[in-house]
Structure 1
Amino acid sequence: MAERDKQPSSDTVASEEASADFATTVERLEQLVERLESGELSLEGSLAAFEQGVHLTRDAQRRLDEAELRVRTLIEGPDGGVDFDSFSAPPGEDDDLER
């Protein structure tokens, strides 16, 4: 049981999160919720799973925010076609996600 409670290091989690797509992030969150709800984890394992879930949730929210910005920048061109305008997130908007 102790082997199952072990969590990857935060460096490993961060690199995995960077390469995961949104669907994978949501799937991993669902798996964490199932593990937490099962009641089979120790207190330490539950805390580690919760912490990992918080990181995944923040990553998913960041991805949703970026997608929303892309959708908002969609404009219709003069020929009726759809073009993307480049955008940059306003400075400081993601600051609260780092906490």
Structure 2
Amino acid sequence: MPRKNSVRHFEENLTELDTIVTQLESNQLPLEEALKAFEKGVKISQDCQSVLTQAEQKVQILLDKQDGEHLEPFDPESAS
């Protein structure tokens, strides 16, 4: 999949995932619909994670090629 399509697909998935989360948080869906929405949300989340992992790998490759720098694990606690 071309890079622009991956980014667009990722952004569309994030928007759809946000919609699903909002629906689930509203507690207005019947149980069966909520389970289907949750299942779809998990699938979308996995797809997004895959795209992010690929992007991280590409960044790591680029950094390895340039001056041998390496990514450091992100620690949200120390970023505050």
**Short-chain TM bin:** 0.5 to 0.7
Instruction: Give unpaired runs (5+ residues) of structure 2.
Output: 1-5, 68-80
The whole-number CA distance in structure 2 between the counterparts of 1:45 and 1:21 is 24
Structure with a larger share of its residues in helix: 2
> Higher Cα Rg: structure 1 or 2?
1
Indicate the percent of aligned positions where both proteins have the same amino acid.
37
TM-score, normalised with respect to structure 2: 0.67
User: 2:55 & 2:66 partners in 1: Cα distance?
Assistant: 18
Match for residue 76 of structure 1 among 62, 66, 69: 66
Aligned length: 59
After TM superposition, the score normalised by the length of structure 1 is 0.55
CA deviation map 1:68-97 (0-9, x unaligned): 0100110238xxxxxxxxxxxxxxxxxxxx
- Structure with the higher fraction of residues in strand conformation: 1
Any gaps of 5 or more consecutive residues in structure 1? 1-17, 78-99
Detail structure 1 runs of 4+ shifted over 3 Å in the superposition: none
